[in-house]
Amino acid sequence: MRKEMLTGNAAAAWGVRLAEVDYIPVYPITPQTEIIETLAKWISDGVMDSRYVTMDSEHSMLTAAGSASATGARAFTATSSQGLLYGFEMLYAVAGWRVPLVMVNVSRGLSSPITLEPDHNDVLAARDTGFLQIHCETCQEVLDSILMAYRLAEDERVLLPIIVNLDGFYLSFTREPVAVPDVEQVRNFLPLYQPKHAFFKASQPMAQSAAVLGGSSYSYFKYQMHMASQNALAVYKEVCDEFETGFGRNYDTIEGYMLDGAEYVLIMTNSFSTLGKAAVNNARERGIKAGLLRLRLVRPFPVADLKAAISRKKAVAVIDQNISIGKGGILHSEIASCLYNEKHRPLLLSFIAGLGGKNISPDEFEFIINKIVTGVDTEDAGTAQLIYTDKEWQEMGRLKRMAGKG
Amino acid sequence: MYRLRFHGRGGQGARVASKVLGTAAFLDGYYAQDFPLYGAERRGAPVAASTRISEDPIMERGVISAPDIVIVMDETLLQDPLTMPVSGIKQGGIVLINTAHSPEEAKVEYKITAQVLTLDITKIGLDMLGTPILSTLAGGVAARIVGLSEDSLRDAVKKILSEIITDKRLLDKNVAAALYCFNAITPAKIELKTTDTIKKKSTVISVPFEPATVSSPAINATGNTPLRMTGNWRVFRPDWNYDSCTRCMICVARCPDGCILVNEDGYPYTDYDNCKGCLICVEECPTNSLGKVREVHTKKVIGK
């Protein structure tokens, strides 16, 4: 093992290299392209033995990746935002094939207006597809999660594809120290994929992905996928334990930060959680018993772990870095549904923040934490609120005037 | 923790400078994080990069809004209202400017309240590398200001550059230039107090509804691109010698930005307000009637 400064994208590429992936179909998109460029260079330099193919679109790319996976190859691909949506049809198709493809999504806000920086509407749009989802906070976690993802996806109790998510710019282009494990160590953790259900062998022909009509077969196949995804919760724990034994790093389905003894909890995902943790430290200095829960496994949704962690807290604020237009924060809705039938449940507040990579400053976190505390005092969760500052509103006014909007 | 922000133009090396610094700090045993931010990926566009160096794990991400140190790799950015390189600089912090000006001149000219250091990094780049790509040089300057070791700087330059160039001689020249810059400045002491941020607290507001005439992402104003002069991006200006010009017009055809016009006598001339100094005209001129002269003066960004 050695440690070096890597971007989130380079860490992703290292995960793919160490997983000794067979086949990588690609299509470029900012802020993901560095991943496939890095892999291309390694393959060209002869330090990585994989088949690398440039495709004509994300739709073709996902089809190729899923198909390769259905022949029994270990496949990888990566995309972001508009690209994920362009290939969207194939997400459902590939998941239905029950193949263990691992894909990285580098989160980026969706058009319109077009932008480059991250929020999670792209990856959360894929939440119903059958792909499992692991969301990462650090560059180290990106590398490690790719290794864990192959183990989890290839497990016979699961056999569903996985998206490993990281934030564009804030992680994809941010370098921080990353421990790169030795390939031997990784081989012990992640043995060769031995497909039993979907492979390509002349002596054993099969037709994959049959058409069905009438609904009963369809229902059967879809519900089997759901149960496989639910199985992944227990399998994930085993993978997590084995990963910790091998590499000394623990990644549970959720991560608690100062959660023991906390009365007020922030729930976040991905790289902005680092800022949330700093805000928790600040709140603790002010004598407020704050903590943070970071959702790492978003599909399957870790309902039991989540309930155990927050049902007896005073109040929880879900900070959604996404917006379901016409409803509000996506994760807020999901968490609310977990808690509804609980005897003890916290006051649940909803905030929308960090859309399109908008920074969440310490002042804004302080506002959120104060809102939680007053919410408990007044027993009023209020309505969902966009976190937006007076300075940003002034700047928006300046831009509107520049654009000729009066 | 030290928070540094590099400001340069696309192609100048701000991103790589922040990486050189980050790796040097990492090799010196610190926690480090570096992060570039750029919009359109084109040469000449403003680029910022942030580097954080700390003895403890870093609980911050993204752009540094209140830096301790700012490295201005292109002094024309100091007058760019959209870039504002020294914004947020802490009292007692350090601004290093790549300029031929003295620190006193630069401090007055650009109305900077923080401490100012100056070094003509472009000249060093031209002398030692033969090109105004300043990544390793700016990295060297920054490494000195934050007090990193010469050995780590050397190793960092080698590591970062070997990932992007294969020319061993150019790599060695970069190492030499980085170390030259490292030793060319006597850093001021950073005199930060913990309570030195003077920024106003920001208040969270409720955003009101506005009709789609305002809230759709359409631009109703007429185009203002012509107001944005690009001539201040130049490192070199094309210099005309009309004695040998044959009015062949190859330069006019080859200029990628339409910045070579023709006067009443049929001679081509440069629109210096907008010429970015790519020097394709100098390369293309069959009679060698075009030379190059280094720009050392700054100009206003927005038209007069």
Domain covering A256-393 assigned CATH 3.40.50.920 in the classification = yes
Q: Is residue B192 pLDDT above 70, yes or no?
A: no
- DSSP character for A110? P
Q: Are residues B172 and B235 in the same domain?
A: no
Supply the CATH number for residue B251's domain. 3.30.70.20
Which of B156, B184, B212 marks a domain boundary?
B184
Would you call A367 and B60 a contact, using CB atoms and an 8 Å cutoff? no
Q: Which of B59, B201, B222 sits opposite A277 (nearest CB)?
A: B59
Q: Is residue B267 pLDDT above 80, yes or no?
A: yes
Number of domains in chain B: 2
Residue A182: per-residue pLDDT: 97
Q: Are residues B169 and B275 in the same domain?
A: no
Rounded to a whole number of angstroms, the distance from the CA of B83 to the nearest CA of chain A is: 14
Longest dimension (CA), chain B: 68
Handedness of CA B54, B60, B61, B63 (dihedral sign): negative
Q: Is residue B302 pLDDT above 50, yes or no?
A: no
Please name which of A288, A309, A303, A312 lies closest in space to residue A366, comparing C-alpha atoms. A288
Contacts of A406 in chain B (CB under 8 A): 214
Which residue is listed with tokens 């330099």?
Answer: A45
Question: Among residues 149-188 of chain A, which lie with CB inside 8 Å of chain B?
Answer: 169-171, 173-177
Q: Which of A175, A274, A389 sits opposite B19 (nearest CB)?
A: A175
Q: Is B212 on the interface with A (CB under 8 A)?
A: no
Q: What are the φ and ψ backbone dihedral angles of B194, each rounded to 5 degrees?
A: -65, -25
Q: Is A388 on the interface with B (CB under 8 A)?
A: yes
Q: Which of B62, B207, B218 sits opposite A386 (nearest CB)?
A: B207
Which residue is listed with tokens 């971007």?
Answer: A7
Q: What tokens were used for A46?
A: 């002869």
Q: Is A402 on the interface with B (CB under 8 A)?
A: yes
Q: Is residue B298 pLDDT above 70, yes or no?
A: no
Spatial separation of the C-alpha atoms in residues A322 and A312, rounded to whole Å? 26
Residue B297: per-residue pLDDT: 54
C-alpha torsion angle, residues A285, A287, A288, A294 (rounded to 10): 30
Alpha helices in chain B (DSSP H): 14-27, 103-109, 121-128, 135-146, 150-164, 168-184, 212-215, 250-254, 280-284
Q: Is A398 on the interface with B (CB under 8 A)?
A: no
Would you call B32 and A361 a contact, using CB atoms and an 8 Å cutoff? no
Buried b (16+ CB within 10 A) or exposed e, B47-64: bbbbbbbbeeebbbbbbb
Q: Is A277 on the interface with B (CB under 8 A)?
A: yes
Find out whether B268 and B252 touch, Cβ atoms under 8 Å.
Answer: yes
**What is the mean pLDDT, run by run of 10 residues, along chain A of 406 residues?**
94 98 97 97 97 98 98 98 98 98 98 96 98 98 98 98 97 97 97 95 93 96 98 98 98 97 98 98 97 98 98 97 97 97 96 97 97 96 96 95 89
Element (H, E) at A192: none
Residue to substitute from B61, B194, B203, interface A, most A β-carbons within 10 A: B61
CATH number of A2-247: 3.40.50.970
Q: Which residue of B has its CA nearest to A116?
A: B39
Contacts of A171 in chain B (CB under 8 A): 61
Q: Which residue of A has its CA nearest to B156?
A: A5
Alpha helices in A46-177 (DSSP H): 58-70, 81-86, 88-96, 121-125, 139-154
Could you count the other beta carbons within 10 Å of the beta carbon of residue B232?
24
Task: Provide the 3-class DSSP secondary structure of residue A117.
Answer: coil
Q: Is residue B300 pLDDT above 80, yes or no?
A: no
Query: What amino acid occupies position B24?
Result: A
Find out whether A129 and A95 touch, Cβ atoms under 8 Å.
Answer: yes
Spatial separation of the C-alpha atoms in residues B77 and B73, rounded to whole Å? 9
Q: Is residue B82 pLDDT above 90, yes or no?
A: no
Residue A237: per-residue pLDDT: 98
Q: Is B37 on the interface with A (CB under 8 A)?
A: yes
Q: What tokens were used for B187?
A: 């850093």
Spatial separation of the C-alpha atoms in residues A241 and A252, rounded to whole Å? 9
Would you call B220 and A393 a contact, using CB atoms and an 8 Å cutoff? no
CB pairs under 8 A between A and B: 99
The mean pLDDT value of chain B amounts to: 89
Following DSSP, what letter does each residue of A239-294 receive, concatenated?
A: HHHHHHHHHS----SEEEES-TT-SEEEEE-STTHHHHHHHHHHHHHTT--EEEEE
Rounded to a whole number of angstroms, the distance from the CA of B269 to the nearest CA of chain A is: 33
Q: Is residue B168 pLDDT above 90, yes or no?
A: yes
Q: Are residues B122 and B256 in the same domain?
A: no
Handedness of CA B118, B122, B123, B127 (dihedral sign): positive
Would you call B202 and A389 a contact, using CB atoms and an 8 Å cutoff? yes
**Of B99 and B201, the one with more pLDDT:** B99
Following DSSP, what letter does each residue of B280-298 receive, concatenated?
A: HHHHH-TT--EEEEE--S-
Would you call B204 and A367 a contact, using CB atoms and an 8 Å cutoff? yes
Q: Are residues B42 and B149 in the same domain?
A: yes
Q: Is B40 on the interface with A (CB under 8 A)?
A: no
Which of B127, B150, B184 marks a domain boundary?
B184
Which of B150, B184, B218 marks a domain boundary?
B184
Q: Are A2-247 and A256-393 equal in CATH topology?
A: yes
Band (pLDDT 50/70/90 cuts) for residue B199 is low
In a domain, B107, yes or no: yes
End-to-end CA distance of chain B: 41
Question: For residue A145, what are the contacts with CB-CB under 8 A and spacing of at least 6?
Answer: A15, A134, A136, A164, A251
- Domain, as residue range, for B66: 2-184
Segments making up each domain of chain A, as ranges: 2-247, 256-393
Q: Give the pairing of strands A175-180 and A254-257.
A: unpaired
pLDDT for B274-293, tens place per residue? 998 999 999 999 999 999 99
Percent of chain B surpassing pLDDT 90: 73
Please name which of A220, A128, A147 lies closest in space to residue A185, comparing C-alpha atoms. A147
Q: Is A41 on the interface with B (CB under 8 A)?
A: no
Question: Among residues 114-143 of chain B, which lie with CB inside 8 Å of chain A?
Answer: none
Q: Is residue B178 pLDDT above 80, yes or no?
A: yes
Q: Are residues B178 and B106 in the same domain?
A: yes
Query: What amino acid occupies position A380?
Result: D
Q: Which residue of A has its CA nearest to B217?
A: A113
Residue B193: per-residue pLDDT: 52
Would you call A173 and B35 a contact, using CB atoms and an 8 Å cutoff? yes
Q: What tokens were used for B6?
A: 């590099």
Would you call A388 and B26 a contact, using CB atoms and an 8 Å cutoff? no
Spatial separation of the C-alpha atoms in residues B59 and B49, rounded to whole Å? 18
Q: Is residue B21 pLDDT above 60, yes or no?
A: yes
C-alpha torsion angle, residues A335, A337, A338, A341 (rounded to 10): 140
